[in-house]
A and B are shown apart, each in its own frame.
Chain A
Amino acid sequence: MIAISLSELTLISIISSGFLVTKIHMKRIFIFAFAAFIFSSCDNNDESTEMQPVEDAKTTITFDARVGNTDFALNKDFTIGTRTYNFSKLRYWVSNVTLVDSKGAEYLIPDSYYLMEEVGDLNLSGTISDKLTYPARKREAIDIEQIPAGEYKSIKFSVGVDSKHNDNLSLQAGELSIANGMSNIAWMWHTSYIFSSVAGTVKEGATSAEFLAETGLNANYKTVSIDFAAPVNFSTAKGIVLNLDVTKIIDGIDLIKTPKVNAAQSAVMSALAANYGSKAVAFGSVSN
């Protein structure tokens, strides 16, 4: 984890695979950058053991947000059932990503805490800083390196933050941060992370509502397992695409009736978390 502090009015561009190039002018920014250390594989020169050099692979896992069969987008009307939705943000933590090989062995990607999102500029003033704008960002791809060679049959990951990190905001891992509006540190409340957040407007006939549907709390930490259509060798495949269908996220959730979903609506929040965990994500394709 590298924290970079900038003096006032410094331009910075951050280029990292999977992130948009972003130029930021503002008064002091902490960017918690994920430093990937690449270790060269060991060569064993002892011929008597006949060990093959291990070639680590790298890949990109894409969480492609969709609305049914179309691509998800902000500030665009979508008809879902009898209602029209217009989304202003979609954000969720993906954590503890594990690749499972054909023999069932699991490779847990170290420090895997990723903030997946599509947002416009977010006004986070008054959270940990009086003036704070989180710049607009679309982030759907996670780059992973150092994957042990082999064929993989599935991927596991969780939506949200595991209890160890959720209960202790001082622990740094992956992209976990309190600087991005996906945590709750107000003193009166339950200091912890917001696992997912989707917001916008919903209309049905003459009725409309502004909704903000969020999940959090340890009980709502859901683990997902997705089988690949066929075993994937990351030495040859460029990546895999998982589809996150927003219509499934809100399935059975009446956002006109309960436009605010959070800890105070615990039953609805549980249902929403269950949707993320069981319905929303499906295998899409292998990128070659």
Chain B
Amino acid sequence: MPEPQIYQFAVPSNFPRPDFDTESPLTKEGIELGRMLFYDLRLSGNNKVSCASCHDQKLAFSDGKALNDAGVSGTILHRHTPALINLAWANNGLFWDGGATNLESQAFGPLTATDEMHQDLFELAGELSAVPEYVKRFDLVFKDQVSSQNIVKALAQFQRTLVSANSRYDKFKRNEAGGNLSSVELQGLQLVRQKCQSCHAGELFTDNGYHNNGIDADFSNDKYEGLFQGRFRISYNAADLGSFKTPTLRNVALTAPYMHDGRFAELEDVLDHYSGEIKISATLDSNIPANGFQFNSDEKKAILAFLKTLTDEEFITNSEFSKP
């Protein structure tokens, strides 16, 4: 009986060490199985939607829409599709309000949600069990049958390999060939470090935390089970009203539109917001001044120039992440 081969996860030298603690060691075969599933339309109830339908590699695994209606029911979703970047380090909750503790648990959500993949988990296991290739692979990877638990484990393994660490900025940071930043880009880097990195922190360009960044003033609307109230509806801690997950700035030029509901079409709109359109509330993050950062137009240009250096062409073209 062949054994799956342990996958050596390469930590980029400028990144912190990730913490894999979910009982699911990465194996080459597990990752490959996860990739097959990620692109498989059969994971949806109508066999027309796969994970990749809304997580498009060309867009750093986002979908370019504010609120997508590509799900099985055709209903417009309430939240913008998050990009899938550097999830091996995302250990502080998944979804915009952090309701899922890990990738394994998270996948059950979109798989079963009526407006997303609307899949019946019993039928899914039955459908994939009728495919000899899947039966063989699940047996090799998990020494087990096809089951929804094993499906989400395989998907999680694949997603953990989606590492973006080869942008021009990274090559600059690691003194590698091709890592030159112009003076405008360097100016932008300094501004991002000073003004943005209290939340978009470190080399991951996210603290994987939850902040109220002042895009709304009022969070009293508790419709849709607290959908508009941010992390509050998970923690029930008043300090979390209006707090949403800090997305990474990596590949940000590719992942428009922006914010948890995609309300800002362009990066310029985001910078205008942070410059002086902050909406005040009791839980506004203390790192954001009430009248904004007051960027002048040169500063905005510099920040935009720098943000573009975080685009990782290798990430969006790597065939190991593409449809098999």
Binding partners A and B: yes
Which A residues contact B (CB, under 8 angstroms)? 3, 5, 28-30, 126-130, 167-172, 178-179, 185-192, 263-264, 266
Q: 10 interchain pairs (CB within 8 A)?
A: A5-B125, A28-B122, A170-B156, A172-B149, A185-B109, A187-B108, A187-B112, A188-B224, A188-B227, A189-B99
What separation, in Å, do the CA atoms of A71 and B77 have in the docked complex?
Answer: 48
Contact B126 A5 (CB under 8 A): yes
Provide the residues of chain B in CB contact with A29, threshold 8 Å: 122
Provide the residues of chain B in CB contact with A263, threshold 8 Å: 236
Contact B129 A188 (CB under 8 A): no
Provide the residues of chain A in CB contact with B234, threshold 8 Å: 189-190
What separation, in Å, do the CA atoms of A3 and B97 have in the docked complex?
Answer: 33
Chain B interface residue count, CB cutoff 8 Å, equals 40
From residue B236, how far is it (CB to closest CB) to chain A in Å? Answer: 5
Contact B101 A192 (CB under 8 A): yes
Q: Answer yes or no: B121 CB below 8 A from chain A CBs.
A: yes
User: Could you tell me the dominant secondary structure of chain B's interface residues?
Assistant: helix
* Closest Cβ neighbor of B225 among chain A residues: A188
Provide the residues of chain A in CB contact with B22, threshold 8 Å: 168, 170
* Closest Cβ neighbor of B121 among chain A residues: A128
Contact A170 B121 (CB under 8 A): no
State whether A3 and B108 are in contact (beta carbons under 8 Å apart), knowing that A28-B123, A128-B122 are contacts in the complex. no
Contact A128 B104 (CB under 8 A): no
* Closest Cβ neighbor of B153 among chain A residues: A170
* Closest Cβ neighbor of A187 among chain B residues: B109
Contact B122 A186 (CB under 8 A): no
Contact A186 B105 (CB under 8 A): no
Provide the residues of chain A in CB contact with B100, threshold 8 Å: 187, 190-191
Contact B104 A266 (CB under 8 A): no
Provide the residues of chain B in CB contact with A192, threshold 8 Å: 101, 105
From residue B92, how far is it (CB to closest CB) to chain A in Å? Answer: 12
Q: Answer yes or no: B322 CB below 8 A from chain A CBs.
A: no
B113-143 contact mask (Cβ, 8 Å, vs A): 1 or 0: 1101000111101100100000000000000
Q: Answer yes or no: B180 CB below 8 A from chain A CBs.
A: no
Contact A168 B113 (CB under 8 A): no
State whether A169 and B104 are in contact (beta carbons under 8 Å apart), knowing that A128-B120, A188-B99, A266-B236 are contacts in the complex. yes
State whether A127 and B112 are in contact (beta carbons under 8 Å apart), knowing that A28-B123, A189-B99, A190-B99 are contacts in the complex. yes
From residue B223, how far is it (CB to closest CB) to chain A in Å? Answer: 12
Contact B123 A30 (CB under 8 A): no
- Partner pick for A191 among B101, B114, B121, B149, CB 8 A cutoff: B101
B22-65 contact mask (Cβ, 8 Å, vs A): 1 or 0: 11100000000000000000000000000000000000000000
State whether A30 and B125 are in contact (beta carbons under 8 Å apart), knowing that A3-B147, A168-B104, A171-B23 are contacts in the complex. yes
Work out how many contacts link A and B, with CB atoms closer than 8 A: 104
Provide the residues of chain A in CB contact with B150, threshold 8 Å: 170
Provide the residues of chain B in CB contact with A264, threshold 8 Å: 236
* Closest Cβ neighbor of B110 among chain A residues: A187
* Closest Cβ neighbor of B129 among chain A residues: A5
From residue B49, how far is it (CB to closest CB) to chain A in Å? Answer: 14
Provide the residues of chain B in CB contact with A127, threshold 8 Å: 112
From residue B200, how far is it (CB to closest CB) to chain A in Å? Answer: 25
Contact A191 B109 (CB under 8 A): yes
What separation, in Å, do the CA atoms of A143 and B295 have in the docked complex?
Answer: 69
Provide the residues of chain A in CB contact with B105, threshold 8 Å: 167-170, 185, 191-192
Provide the residues of chain B in CB contact with A188, threshold 8 Å: 95, 97, 99, 109, 224-225, 227, 233
State whether A185 and B236 are in contact (beta carbons under 8 Å apart), knowing that A168-B102, A170-B149 are contacts in the complex. no
Contact B101 A187 (CB under 8 A): no
From residue A64, how far is it (CB to closest CB) to chain B in Å? Answer: 32
Contact A126 B101 (CB under 8 A): no
* Closest Cβ neighbor of A171 among chain B residues: B23
What separation, in Å, do the CA atoms of A30 and B150 have in the docked complex?
Answer: 14
- Partner pick for A167 among B102, B149, B227, B233, CB 8 A cutoff: B102
Q: Answer yes or no: B256 CB below 8 A from chain A CBs.
A: no
* Closest Cβ neighbor of B149 among chain A residues: A170
Provide the residues of chain B in CB contact with A189, threshold 8 Å: 99, 225, 233-234
* Closest Cβ neighbor of B118 among chain A residues: A130
Q: Answer yes or no: B145 CB below 8 A from chain A CBs.
A: yes
Q: Answer yes or no: B106 CB below 8 A from chain A CBs.
A: yes
From residue B285, how far is it (CB to closest CB) to chain A in Å? Answer: 23
From residue B71, how far is it (CB to closest CB) to chain A in Å? Answer: 11
Provide the residues of chain A in CB contact with B87, threshold 8 Å: none
Contact B109 A170 (CB under 8 A): no
Contact A28 B126 (CB under 8 A): yes
Provide the residues of chain B in CB contact with A168, threshold 8 Å: 22-23, 101-102, 104-105
* Closest Cβ neighbor of B123 among chain A residues: A28
Q: Which of B24, B113, B236 has the most CB of A within 10 A?
A: B236
* Closest Cβ neighbor of A3 among chain B residues: B147
- Partner pick for A129 among B104, B108, B123, B225, CB 8 A cutoff: B123
From residue A6, how far is it (CB to closest CB) to chain B in Å? Answer: 9
* Closest Cβ neighbor of A8 among chain B residues: B126
* Closest Cβ neighbor of B96 among chain A residues: A188
Provide the residues of chain A in CB contact with B109, threshold 8 Å: 185-188, 191
Q: Which 3 A-B pairs have the closest CB atoms?
A: A187-B109, A170-B104, A167-B101
What separation, in Å, do the CA atoms of A24 and B217 have in the docked complex?
Answer: 53
What separation, in Å, do the CA atoms of A263 and B226 have in the docked complex?
Answer: 12
Q: Answer yes or no: B152 CB below 8 A from chain A CBs.
A: yes
What separation, in Å, do the CA atoms of A57 and B106 have in the docked complex?
Answer: 41
B195-229 contact mask (Cβ, 8 Å, vs A): 1 or 0: 00000000000000000000000000000110100
